[in-house]
Amino acid sequence: MPRILIADDEPNIREVITFALERAGFATITARNGSEALQQVRRGPVDLIVLDIGMPEMDGLEVCRQIRKTSEVPILFLSARDEEIDRILGLEIGGDDYVTKPFSARELVARINVILKRARGGEKRAPALSHGSVRLDVARHAVWFGEVAIALTALEFEILSAFMGRSELVFSREQLMEAAYGAGTYVSDRTIDSHIRNLRAKFAEAGCASVVETVHGVGFRLGSCT
């Protein structure tokens, strides 16, 4: 049974999410603020964190930064509709997805299922892929550039898998949305762009300056990766 941490300073939000997730078959634990969220993560493993951005004292963005120092556990942000900059920043510092308030409990559960499925390699794919100096192991959910291991979130991993599975293609943003989130799930273009920026930054740090190339007016394609 997947274990989900719900971190939000609003009791009614925690109750709504807890009810929806437990009804869908998840185990839940809660935190009232950022400090409690970090304590819960340290106490025991969780499979995914639902993390409110706008918490007092320590906000969700700082919680994410702290968690990403030691863990790649999937993080889904909750944010108010007027916090677009924070939402994009949240993805850039390691969040997997976001849902805006007020939200549909059904959509929240669906997005959590998508993220967990991706994190566990739930779709049948080639067990290993390679392109240039990049290697991707589906079973181990691992990626290397040369001998350097690169830690990717579940959705970054799916986007890179799509590129490497069809390295000759140029992908539109819509195709990347479907690869990462599944058919019928809409996210903004800026969300996909944030994931692409994350991939580029992580590979650049490992020494690869061209893992994803932009084809202006069309989309993106896999770079030379050498």
Which residue from 66, 74, 77 is spatially nearest to 8, judged by alpha carbons? 77
pTM for this prediction: 0.65
Coil, helix or strand at residue 6: strand
Share of the chain above pLDDT 70, in %: 90
Q: Does domain 128-222 have CATH number 1.20.1730.10?
A: no
> Looking at domain 3-119, what is its CATH homologous superfamily?
Response regulator (3.40.50.2300)
- Asked if pLDDT for residue 124 goes beyond 50, the answer is no
Which residues, at least 6 apart from 127, have a Cβ–Cβ distance to it below 8 Å? 137, 138, 139
- Sign, CA dihedral 44-90-141-47, equals positive
Most confident range (mean pLDDT) of 29-33, 57-61, 111-115, 192-196 is 29-33
- CA 220 to centroid of chain Cα atoms: 19
Q: What is the mean pLDDT of residues 168-191?
A: 77
Domain residues of the chain, as ranges?
A: 3-119, 128-222
Beta bridge partners of 49: 5, 75
The model's pLDDT over 60-96, given as tens digits with 9 standing for 90+, comes to 999 999 998 888 899 999 987 656 667 677 778 888 8
